[in-house]
Amino acid sequence: MSDEIRISDLANPRLTAAQQAAIAYADTLNPELTSRSILREAQQVTGLDDFGAADFRSRLDLLCDEWGGDAGLTNLGRLSLRNKLLQHASSRLLIHDVLCRHPEIHDVEISAPIIVAGLPRSGTTHLLNLMAADSRLRALPLWESYEPVPLPRESERTDGVDPRYQRCAEQWQMMQSLSPLLAAMHPMNPDHIHEELELMGPDFASYNYEWLSVSPRWRDNYYATDQTPHYEYLKTVLKILTWQDGDHSGAHTRWVLKCPQHLEQLGVLRSVFADATVVITHRDPVSVIQSAITMLGYGQRINRRRVDLDGLFTYWSDRVVHLLRACVNDRAVWPAAQSIDVLFHEFMADDLATVENIYATANLRMTASARGELQQFINEHPRGKDGRVVYRLREDFGVDPAELRSRFSFYFDRFPVQVEVE
């Protein structure tokens, strides 16, 4: 793969043979995007039938109704969304089952996690994966975020590989064949450390669904709803994972986590994870937006009948405004002793020094062993390892960067962010 990647067909894609074949195959199917069919199949997959509290059903119904009525989706896109909802419904059954059989899990402590909050595409992924290289910290690999609780009676394969890991690896291989540039924009291999927001999926909650498809009704419902119960659900799943590790008190486990949604939920985050250390990354929102909507536009070539670059720009520029206004308004919720702001350009200049500053705030000593693990990760994961995508806001989206940046004067007034896109 060339070091520099230019997507010349973003608006009018030239589909590969693999993409055409996948779309054609999906067109022979009739994926039923209804809550009834999804819940029934989840019960068949797991052999379980108790989903626990029923409040999630209205949220699942909303997603099915919004996505099911979206005429712009290809059948392949519809199938992908249904599979995600099925995955979440199956995990909900498994989570409720293990909690019923082991109520002591609720007593596990999630103590002093380090939680990264920052815009998508602002260095949060690299920062999380870097700190996760420190073996003293517990992180959430992608395969485990997708299936936090194993299926009943499913054991490791003869080669010692967890079946959940294998399923995730197969998904990644398929994703790479259908979206070959994705690795350069956002790797999703099984060992990749993922956002804990995925653990809200079995509660059919979070802004994550907005990234999966066009979802303005879901967004409005999310805005209007107190997210505290869903953060509590997330914390409970972290307790399950800690317990499954064999740490039945939580005394020996310190989590490192990250999610952009936290920017607009800082108060909720504080109420649920009161003893956390919160790391907030800051980057030029113009750079963030052009990167995010390019990635989403690239994905639309197989999931939607038409790539809507204008719609992506309008939706996600508004969305980033909402995230950053909430961050500016609520930043003081987290005291200086438990929080630190990280500027993207400083992090890129010296990522190891940034982690040292975070550790100092989190009262975590930087040992020689930890430094060696972090440095090894840095050496093995240079920026642009899988190629560097060239993002072109003006050329691809017809947007003047300076005009867009004027919407964020409130943010630049609050944080000394370096302008990147001229």
Q: Which residue has the higher pLDDT, 358 or 123?
A: 358
Residues of the chain with pLDDT > 90: what percent?
91
Domain span at residue 182 reads: 4-10+107-152+174-414
Task: Flag whether pLDDT at 24 surpasses 90.
Answer: yes
- Report the alpha-carbon distance of residue 133 to residue 42 in Å, rounded: 34
Give the burial string for 238-255 (b: 16+ CB within 10 Å, else e).
Answer: bbbbbbbeeeeebeebbb
Residue 159 falls within a domain, yes or no? no
Structure tokens at 336: 């200086």
Q: Which of 58-67, 82-91, 172-181, 242-251 has the lowest mean pLDDT?
A: 172-181
- Does residue 32 lie within any of the structural domains? no
Asked whether residue 238 is assigned to any structural domain, the reply reads yes
| Mean local confidence (pLDDT), 16-42 | 97
How far is Cα 333 from Cα 61, in angstroms, rounded to an integer? 34
The tally of CA atoms less than 13 A away on the side-chain side of residue 74 is 21
- Does 421 reside within a domain? no
Mean pLDDT value across the chain: 95
Is residue 252 in some structural domain? yes
3-state SS string over 172-215? HHHHHHHCCCHHHHCCCCCCCECCHHHHHHHHCCCCHHHHHCCC
pLDDT band with cut points at 50, 70 and 90 for residue 155 = confident
* CATH classification of the domain holding 311: 3.40.50.300
The Cβ of residue 375 has, within 10 Å, a number of other Cβ atoms equal to 13
The pLDDT of residue 379 = 95
Specify whether the CB–CB gap between 301 and 19 falls below 8 A.
yes
The number of folded domains in the chain is 1
Q: What is the pLDDT of residue 1?
A: 41
Residue 281: is its pLDDT beyond 90? Answer: yes
Answer whether residue 90 shows pLDDT above 80: yes
Does residue 58 lie in a domain region?
no
Band (pLDDT 50/70/90 cuts) for residue 156 is low
Lowest mean pLDDT of 40-49, 104-113, 178-187, name the range. 178-187
Neighbours of 30 (CB within 10 A): 10
Stretch 73-90: mean pLDDT: 98
Distance CA 312, CA 397 (A): 9
Q: What is the mean pLDDT of residues 342-353?
A: 96
pLDDT tens per residue across span 292-313: 999 999 999 999 999 999 999 9
The tokens for 85 are: 């909802």
* Residue 302 located in a structural domain: yes
Residue 80 lies in a domain: no
pLDDT at residue 160, rounded to an integer: 83
What pLDDT sits at residue 206?
97
Closest C-alpha to 347, from 250, 298, 413, 279 = 279
